[in-house]
Amino acid sequence: MSDLEYDDELIAGILERTETIAMVGASSNWVRPSHFAMKYLQSKGYRVIPVNPREAGSQLLGETVYADLAAIPDQFQMVDIFRNSKAAGGIADEAAAIKDKGIEFIWMQLGVRNDEAASRAEVAGLNVIMDRCPKIEYGRLYGELSWSGVNSRIISAKRPRIMQRRRNG
């Protein structure tokens, strides 16, 4: 992982405020990381709207795939980008231009980082997270990742409630 540091409170706040995620680069190939992330985030109660021009109009995990962000008819709070760092810049700009769809957060996936685009998006009033995966961050903050020996960096003597952000539907 890169040297980017994000406070847990910031990440948790984004995961708590987000209801719907537009996932750019969502793949119908079930061994791709984007497919894993979409399915996982759905199981945690998020609505995930897939964006992929090559699969536009088809159905993926119960949702219609759209060609681009502008084509999505509904509101969404997060844009989760599974594209290379260069392409991610254009998508961030696209998101900033249509932020009246409710967009607050740009999230670039593991290995994806575009500092210039992030600065432009922040000027436009969006929060930007780069080189992180919301699935992994969700798992880390709510204890599931610890089951795989990952250092969650969480310390607490409080009794955790049974973890489930919210149920589907």
The residue ranges that bind another protein (CB under 8 A) are 1, 7-9, 12, 16, 30-31, 33, 35-36, 39-40, 43, 110-111, 133, 136, 139, 141-166
Q: How far is the CB of 93 from another protein (least distance, A)?
A: 25
**What SS3 state is found at 23?**
strand
Residue among 72 and 78 whose Cβ is closer to another protein? 78
Residue among 94 and 111 whose Cβ is closer to another protein? 111
Enter the tokens of residue 148. 């795989």
Q: How far is the CB of 166 from another protein (least distance, A)?
A: 8
Q: Are 112 and 85 in contact (CB under 8 A)?
A: yes
Q: Are 100 and 129 in contact (CB under 8 A)?
A: no
Neighbour tally for 38: CB within 10 Å: 26
Residue among 116 and 156 whose Cβ is closer to another protein? 156
Q: How far is the CB of 71 from another protein (least distance, A)?
A: 27
Q: How far is the CB of 80 from another protein (least distance, A)?
A: 15
The H or E element that residue 121 is part of is helix 115-123
Residue among 59 and 119 whose Cβ is closer to another protein? 59
Q: How far is CA 40 from each of CA 22, 46, 47, 126, rounded to the nearest angstrom?
A: 14, 9, 11, 25
